[in-house]
Structure 1
Amino acid sequence: MNGLNTAIIYLVQTLGSLYLLIVLLRFILQLVRADFYNPLSQFVVKATQPLLKPLRRVIPGFGGVDFASLALAILVQLALMIGVLLLMGYGVGGYLMPLLVWSVIGVTSLFLKVFFFALIVSVILSWVAPGSYNPAAQLVNQICEPLLSPIRRVLPNLGGLDISPIFAFIALNLIDMLVINNLAAMSGMPRALSPFL
């Protein structure tokens, strides 16, 4: 593989991964019932609407879960993997089912990572800008709240010290180590195909 081909693969992976993140954020924002009037939410909606609108005609939502955006995330991951394999000179004939399984694993891994990094940002913001009205800070808190509130209900009151993010980090890491990594290993998923593993 020459340098130009490597650069093209890098560009495809980077731009495709960014769009995949935006599509998955659309799913997550609807899942956690985030404020869709937030400017960042509006950006996510406008960036995903062209591909999501036709898909919604085929895949309806159910119980407040936007299955169309989840399906779009899996399709974007699948297209990204196929594109990278073709650029690397491999054929994909006969490998569609494993690629689809790997796409689901990659999207699930990214799903966990979004919550993991949102928690990190939330913890930092609670130290440097508690109670901030910044749109990004509000969105991060709305993403983290459904994960943290069940933990807060179980933990005893520690006088204003919130250690629920520590337990959320532990839970996310355990799911990643015990479920995602094992599924990727059992399915033979190459790490080079998904930057989120």
Structure 2
Amino acid sequence: MQAISFLFDAIAGFFSVLLILRFLMQWLRVSFSGQLGSFVASTTNWAVKPLRRLIPGWRGLDWASLLAAVLLQLALHALLLLLLGGGELIALNPLSLLLLALRALLRLGIYVFIGALILQAVLSWVNPYSPLAAPVQQLTRPLLAPLQRIVPVISGIDLSLLVAILLLQMLLIYV
């Protein structure tokens, strides 16, 4: 059972991260024309396009992507509870299941930002002109801009990325 639950968690986690990334990319106006945008769009269209008929975007937010991520996490947690013998808990308390799914999505969203910050740091050292550099910078700009006003650049090194990662990890502790 543990291997099966791991497999379901890994697959649902992968697609949930992509759906969250699609939501964030649209919200933060990150271009979908590059490799990253094309990959995210093509791997999530199966879930987002049908939901867009029911839930259109509003104020620049792609609610269909977010709803698809919530539904995927709901299905994952319900399936895991059924596999692990807690099926009666679903019938008794669907609100708990929804809260578990939302908590998982929040954690995955924080991990997306941490991964983007680490990727941005690595790209700045290895290849700052990589095709991934611009979308990653657009994705992390809302986190880094306020910190860059507070944290000084020391000897040409911007420590705001490190501070942002530490703050996000602290946030994970509370979530």
Q: 1:152 to 1:9 in 2, by over 3 A?
A: same
Deviation at 1:158, TM superposition (A): 4.3
Deviations 1:90-115 (A, max 9, x none): 21212211000111111011101110
Equivalent-residue separation in structure 2 for 1:62 and 1:11 (angstroms): 34
Partner of 2:164: 168
One-letter amino acid of the counterpart of residue 60, structure 1? P
**Structure 2 SS opposite 1:93:** helix
Equivalent-residue separation in structure 2 for 1:71 and 1:155 (angstroms): 36
Q: What is the aligned counterpart of 1:63 among 46, 55, 59?
A: 59
Report the number of matched residues: 173
TM-score of the aligned structures, taking structure 1 as reference length:
0.79
Equivalent-residue separation in structure 1 for 2:153 and 2:22 (angstroms): 34
**Structure 2 SS opposite 1:34:** coil
Q: 1:155 to 1:11 in 2, by over 3 A?
A: closer
- The Cα RMSD (Å) is 1.8
Partner of 1:95: 93
Equivalent-residue separation in structure 1 for 2:5 and 2:20 (angstroms): 22
Determine if contact 2:34/2:131 at 8 Å carries over to the other structure. Answer: yes
Equivalent-residue separation in structure 1 for 2:19 and 2:50 (angstroms): 14
Equivalent-residue separation in structure 1 for 2:81 and 2:110 (angstroms): 25
Q: 1:65 to 1:95 in 2, by over 3 A?
A: same
Partner of 1:35: 31
Which stretch has the larger CA shift, 25-34 or 59-68?
59-68
Deviations 1:78-100 (A, max 9, x none): 11111111122321212211000
Determine if contact 2:9/2:76 at 8 Å carries over to the other structure. Answer: yes
Partner of 1:6: 2
Unpaired runs of at least 5, structure 1 = 181-197
Equivalent-residue separation in structure 1 for 2:146 and 2:173 (angstroms): 22
Deviations 1:45-68 (A, max 9, x none): 111112212212222322212122
Q: 1:22-171 counterparts in 2 under 5 A?
A: 22-91=18-87, 92-129=90-127, 131-132=128-129, 134-156=130-152, 158=154, 160-171=156-167
**Structure 1 SS opposite 2:33:** coil
Unpaired runs of at least 5, structure 2 = none
Determine if contact 2:152/2:158 at 8 Å carries over to the other structure. Answer: no
Identity %: 37
**Structure 2 SS opposite 1:35:** coil
